[in-house]
Amino acid sequence: MGKAYIAAASMIPFGKYPDRTASDLGREAIGSLLEETGIETSAIEAVYAGRAFSSHIDGQVAVPGQVALAASGICDVPVFNIDNACAACPSALHLATQAIRAGQYEAVMVIGMDKLYATDRRRSMRALFGAMDVEKMAWMSEALDGDGKAGSIFMEHYYARIAREYLKNTGATERDLARIAVKNRKHASLNAVAQYRKPMTEEEVLASPVVAEPLRTLMCSPLTDGAAAFLVCSENAGKTFGLPLVEVAASVVRSGMPQRGTADPVLARASARAFEEASIGPEDVDLAEVHDASAVAEMIAIEEIGLAPAGEAKRLLRDGDTALGGRIPVNSSGGLLSRGHPGAATGAAQLVELVWQLQERGGDRQVEKARVGLAQSSGGLVADEAAATAITILRR
């Protein structure tokens, strides 16, 4: 079986685009990729488009990939629309990678595009509610239809609870959560496409409004719109493009187990499989992009991936190991907390950051001598475990 590579990656600035559809944002990302690389559209043999939540906001229920491709010059090719919640784009990359490795295609495009921001917050929360078991969680739907404040579904009913458990079990503190928010904002200040770039202090984070104890507003990811695109190809095709190739060393997608019992968490299971596929270990990773939908999620991910022993992510954080210039920078892009969280496009942005870093295009946030990068995306919630978790390892 052959290898798959990412030859190029592009993304638009993340932010709030109330007057644009996700497909329109995707069209911009596609145009940027084609313009930056000079690739002929005839070279693209298939398109894999990740999109999850925006239909609840912009009304484009089906065929978002085909709409995004309009006027791009890419036509008469298979277009696959992938919905796997926040893991939609790395899931799309997973399928694209399989096709390239199998020799079905020489070059394909992968798109991640989505919207989570709506002027009516209830529409955003309704979209996120769709990433749960809507039948079993019907009581939450009734709450959304009420007259009270829309709140934040995942933060109030999931992340706050696991944050309380994590702090109690590990000795980590609310200030550690603030440290993560400050670190990621500092990284985002160096990223021109991040949603929030103004540096902030731990005191500002701790003084921000409470969402649900112990989480405060600045410890939680914002509602974001955005899009990104990639050129995925075989080695032979890559040579004709003349672009620096980044190998997809591992692409693993796993779903949670309704009755986990004594099994490891889905993130640990997916990570172990990814390291096996890439024939490396956690110690070989030079940088990581993880799904920090809340600050505590970064700490948990670091441990479950194997970048730190259980309960020891706080030590890496306090010692500066996970900051730029540290031993294993985490979320050099700014993470979901500051780069932004546009659902299906979130995993796309993580992959863009790794590609840029491995191609030495990181600018002021370049990780020195970066050769191996890992991205973790998790989406949805079923039976108290992520409904979809993707681990991608890229290598140059």
Q: What is the pLDDT of residue 149?
A: 66
**Is there a domain that residue 293 lies in?**
yes
**Is there a domain that residue 128 lies in?**
no
Per-residue pLDDT reduced to its tens digit, 317-357: 999 999 999 999 999 999 999 999 999 999 999 999 999 99
Catalytic residue among 56, 86, 187, 220: 86
Q: Cα–Cα distance between 269 and 171 in angstroms, integer?
A: 25
pLDDT for residue 259 is more than 70: no
Same domain? For 204 and 240 the reply is no
How much of the chain exceeds pLDDT 70, in percent?
97
**Is there a domain that residue 134 lies in?**
no
For residue 108 the two structure tokens come to 């394909």
Q: Is 233 a catalytic residue?
A: no
Q: What is the pLDDT of residue 144?
A: 72
Same domain? For 363 and 236 the reply is no
Same domain? For 304 and 231 the reply is no
Same domain? For 34 and 100 the reply is yes
Q: Cα–Cα distance between 75 and 70 in angstroms, integer?
A: 8
Q: Cα–Cα distance between 73 and 11 in angstroms, integer?
A: 19
- Region 293-298: mean pLDDT is 97
pLDDT for residue 249 is more than 70: yes
Same domain? For 305 and 375 the reply is yes
pLDDT for residue 6 is more than 80: yes
**Is there a domain that residue 26 lies in?**
yes
**CA 190 distance to own-chain centroid:** 18
**Is there a domain that residue 141 lies in?**
no
Q: What is the CATH number of the domain that holds 98?
A: 3.40.47.10
Q: Is 75 a catalytic residue?
A: no
The chain-wide mean pLDDT, for the chain, equals 95
pLDDT category, 147, cuts 50, 70, 90? low
Same domain? For 51 and 173 the reply is no
Q: Which domain holds residue 20?
A: 5-119+225-248
Same domain? For 168 and 238 the reply is no
Helix, strand, or coil here: 198? coil
Instruction: Domain count for the chain, please give it.
Output: 2
H helical segments located in the chain: 22-37, 55-58, 64-69, 88-101, 121-129, 138-144, 153-154, 160-170, 174-188, 202-207, 235-241, 266-278, 295-305, 313-318, 335-338, 344-358
Q: What is the pLDDT of residue 152?
A: 76
**Is there a domain that residue 135 lies in?**
no
Q: Which of 249, 283, 203 is nearest to 395 (CA)?
A: 249
**Is there a domain that residue 130 lies in?**
no
Helix, strand, or coil here: 356? helix
Q: What is the pLDDT of residue 62?
A: 98
Same domain? For 234 and 192 the reply is no
**Is there a domain that residue 158 lies in?**
yes
Helix, strand, or coil here: 9? strand
Same domain? For 259 and 352 the reply is yes
Same domain? For 287 and 364 the reply is yes
pTM: 0.96
* Category of 9 on φ-ψ map: left (φ > 0), alpha (ψ -120 to 50) or beta: beta
Same domain? For 109 and 255 the reply is no
Per-residue pLDDT reduced to its tens digit, 74-103: 999 999 999 999 999 999 999 999 999 999
Same domain? For 156 and 20 the reply is no
